[in-house]
Structure 1
């Protein structure tokens, strides 16, 4: 078997992609190179842990590289073979640098015997060959493998949030130290099952920290999100569509397009940029175009102008796609043939090529019209706490449903649209992430002026939903967050959703329903632990689940 990957929800037959091309579009050679990169990062982590034990710190270059490299292996982030060849070479160079730093600090490296810390290679051919030896299945015990991969996927999500915070100048050194420790621990064959479970829970703890630092970075830089009506129609000027999650790129693009006659539209997970006060001053910030990431093949065609990916989620275009030469990437994402924009020596990016490209394009074709409402992050909802509490006490609101997470292309995700429609009219949906596109344009009404769909923002803003729950627990004087009238019916797709799940488990949230399928990387025994300890469950039919959640 030349490829094996089961890190996302759409993995083949819910078992694992083991073909020439994965369901996401990742080719087998790229999949294997990603495995080699992760393996090399683990080798780096061994020396980083040794260095920290002697009071030393990895350089900023090393910390940035490790986080961005982890981010680049997230599902639908980067498909470019050359990128991974270069990153593996850099990982080996930095690994040797870390080794020298640890030795200089006085670390005893006599027990460093794992191949991940010792192997060498210098060419793409070397790395391809290594890809045949390393990967998920090199851990034979399926329960150990499951717990290790659960940790690694959580760390990948954590790295994504840490990278976004870094871009805005915010860091938490403990996060880097934990990611290094976690990667190294997944190579330790002496850890017991209980110790691996503890590592998974520790990953959730630092997942909370990663979302907290990113929340701080975003809000201190751009202000607290506000309740906002977002235009979803199209204008009559050329436009640039910005997708992904990175708000620093949003800021730079808005600054550089001001006065050019080019409008800026958000796409998919960039929708919540519309909620931040700092971006509202730009008159050419037109609104949001389109829907969830998986619909991009059709919507990029109709947009007509260039598209900028700041992060995942890229869907490989068809060979005859007319928009392929209009797509640009930056940061950790990439695709062969897409133009990639990098920072200059001062950390700045020049978007003039995209802007000039846009000027030559037709305006977007309008595919819908009207407005959608969002901006219900924790600061905004807590400001409405008195109104919310009164609605609960009066019985106007019977229950909140956290329906955060990811969207995907499989038909079984229609469940979430039908579930939202079937919920009683005295319930409110709390959402974050692209899962919201399954119901945020439905006319579900409001309860005493409170919309029945409260969108907190991006997937990382699931932190807001946890903060809201903890605040409501305090307001109602409850001992346990699980005593609140809140149910959790969460959709997942990739590794950022994994860290959100682990963070919720760390915060003590129980009885989370996860769908549309449970992760393939959970072995039966590990799944049973999650069921028994945390009440994790899958989804059933809409009718049965509504009755179950409402206690009928």
Structure 2
């Protein structure tokens, strides 16, 4: 195996990347190889899908399969080799169906169907040894001896952006929101990679172009979430338990959380959120369930401690799962794209096994002391008081905005984001997205003229809110986003963050602080190119970075 898609990447060897028997995320080499093969097979579907769509014969069901399949290969999502074998078989069948649609549409127009090679011609072996023997052609560094590390890195940048896009698009898709533009964009991106491109300028340009596609996906997901559950509202969320039976829901998938809430209604079982599910409390149709009792624990990397101490069953939706500890392995369930060998998977939306487990387990025996975290400052909530915010800026009451977003993680250097947020001057506002917020969201930041100094905009899935707020402020002040008193510090961990970063670059946003380290697949030459073109900044000392941001804003 070779895997270097996230910040957990092993950097101790001569070439960065997790190799050998086991990656730092817990993924074994066989599962890694199967994931690479699945991506290879999906590229083959995309090759035919692009041609079929060009002939007005799209297969949107196949497009949905592409989204969900790619999602399973993200960091800390699915570790189940049997699931990947099944997906490989299904991918071949989907490819054959799309190929038949293309050929039929071509003949209907008097065209001679063109047989395709590469991933489009891939046939999965009948058994596990055969599949693992096929994996070499699908490795992320395949052909590096011919094209070199820079081209390999740019291909990886393109692929990992597509992974993030597929994840966001899948979240929207399960809520009934999709678009032909998004389906076509994903298919085109994967088909482009299937051709093994070698032009560095084109690769970088197309990667930044994927940022525009991701913006469309983020807008779609925002519409899916708010259209289904209502616009977020500022909400105080209890972060200590109450007595009673309990279920803990982690990950990102609001639809799964809603299903659990509905299926536990009037049962006396309390439901708690964990990790990136915390912002769910801001949605009116979710917080209307009185047994949505609060949030328990912290960010994803703390789950082994949090889940072990929770006295009920745990449901993991979407990313980010870590190897279940023996203390809770028999009471954790997965749903959607998530999987771990030996862990019970709920594939049909019927959470009866989860409810049954909650009844059998003790739950909390007493209430904890009352403590609260306020969430729900999505774009509608913030823009509803935009006049107050604009007035505060013009009066000089608010000097600067700091957006601290992205994923938290277990690697050293993450305290930077707490130091950065806590070091922001008292006449500034801190906005936050993603689970990096857990580094500082229990701190009392106070207010500025009734405006909270800490505004939790939601999950990483809610990035569109931040973009909409920044765009509205820029319009109000008659300037560009880069002219706003706004600094972005992004905590990078995995592929969703790559897609978001490319969106910001596509919008022309400069001077983004990214860290604590940069992706391992970006060579020094590629990093320098990003620095030169987009002013990207690797995080350093938090106090120095805050001071530099304020100085840039004043100049």
Where does residue 526 of structure 2 map in the other structure? 526
SS of equivalent to 1:278 = helix
Are residue 125 (structure 1) and residue 129 (structure 2) matched? yes
Are residue 259 (structure 1) and residue 238 (structure 2) matched? no
Moved more, 105-114 or 43-52: 105-114
Are residue 11 (structure 1) and residue 16 (structure 2) matched? no
SS of equivalent to 1:532 = helix
Q: Is the 8 A contact 2:60 2:183 kept in 1?
A: no
Aligned length: 541
Q: Is the 8 A contact 1:235 1:363 kept in 2?
A: no
Cα distance in 1, alignment partners of residues 155 and 103 from structure 2: 28
* Distance 1:193-1:109 versus aligned 2 partners, 3 A rule: farther
Where does residue 319 of structure 2 map in the other structure? 312
* Distance 1:59-1:170 versus aligned 2 partners, 3 A rule: closer
Cα-to-partner distance string for 1:128-157 (whole Å, 9 max, x where unaligned)? 111233211103122221111111111111
Structure 1 residue 441 displacement after superposition: 1.0
Structure 1 residue 507 displacement after superposition: 1.4
* Distance 1:261-1:483 versus aligned 2 partners, 3 A rule: same
Cα distance in 1, alignment partners of residues 82 and 497 from structure 2: 27
Cα distance in 1, alignment partners of residues 447 and 340 from structure 2: 42
Structure 1 residue 55 displacement after superposition: 1.6
Structure 1 residue 112 displacement after superposition: 2.0
Cα-to-partner distance string for 1:109-130 (whole Å, 9 max, x where unaligned)? 5462225534442222221111
Are residue 421 (structure 1) and residue 422 (structure 2) matched? yes
Cα distance in 2, alignment partners of residues 462 and 239 from structure 1: 30
| Superposition CA RMSD, Å | 1.6
Cα-to-partner distance string for 1:365-409 (whole Å, 9 max, x where unaligned)? 878740011111111100010111111111111110111100001
Structure 1 residue 19 displacement after superposition: 2.5
Where does residue 282 of structure 2 map in the other structure? 275
Are residue 34 (structure 1) and residue 38 (structure 2) matched? no
The 5 Å alignment of 1:458-477 reads 458-477=459-478
Cα-to-partner distance string for 1:451-500 (whole Å, 9 max, x where unaligned)? 2211110101111111100000011111x210000001110111111111
Moved more, 145-154 or 111-120: 111-120
Q: Is the 8 A contact 1:46 1:117 kept in 2?
A: no
Q: Is the 8 A contact 2:27 2:79 kept in 1?
A: yes
Where does residue 339 of structure 1 map in the other structure? 344
Structure 1 residue 269 displacement after superposition: 0.5
* Distance 1:189-1:241 versus aligned 2 partners, 3 A rule: closer
The 5 Å alignment of 1:227-238 reads 227-238=234-245
Cα distance in 1, alignment partners of residues 190 and 78 from structure 2: 21
SS of equivalent to 2:19 = coil
Where does residue 327 of structure 1 map in the other structure? 332
Cα-to-partner distance string for 1:294-346 (whole Å, 9 max, x where unaligned)? 1011111111100111111001023xx21111100111111111110112xxx
Where does residue 25 of structure 2 map in the other structure? 24
Cα distance in 2, alignment partners of residues 432 and 360 from structure 1: 36
Where does residue 139 of structure 1 map in the other structure? 143
Cα distance in 1, alignment partners of residues 54 and 241 from structure 2: 56
| Structure 2 counterpart of 1:199, from 182, 203, 206 | 206
Where does residue 85 of structure 1 map in the other structure? 85
SS of equivalent to 1:411 = coil
Are residue 247 (structure 1) and residue 254 (structure 2) matched? yes
Q: Is the 8 A contact 2:231 2:284 kept in 1?
A: yes
Where does residue 284 of structure 1 map in the other structure? 291
Cα distance in 2, alignment partners of residues 150 and 232 from structure 1: 37
Q: Is the 8 A contact 1:241 1:305 kept in 2?
A: yes
Moved over 3 A (4+): 107-111, 364-369
| Structure 2 counterpart of 1:296, from 288, 299, 303 | 303
Cα distance in 1, alignment partners of residues 310 and 385 from structure 2: 37
**Structure 1 stretches of 5 or more lacking a match?**
344-348
Structure 1 residue 526 displacement after superposition: 2.0
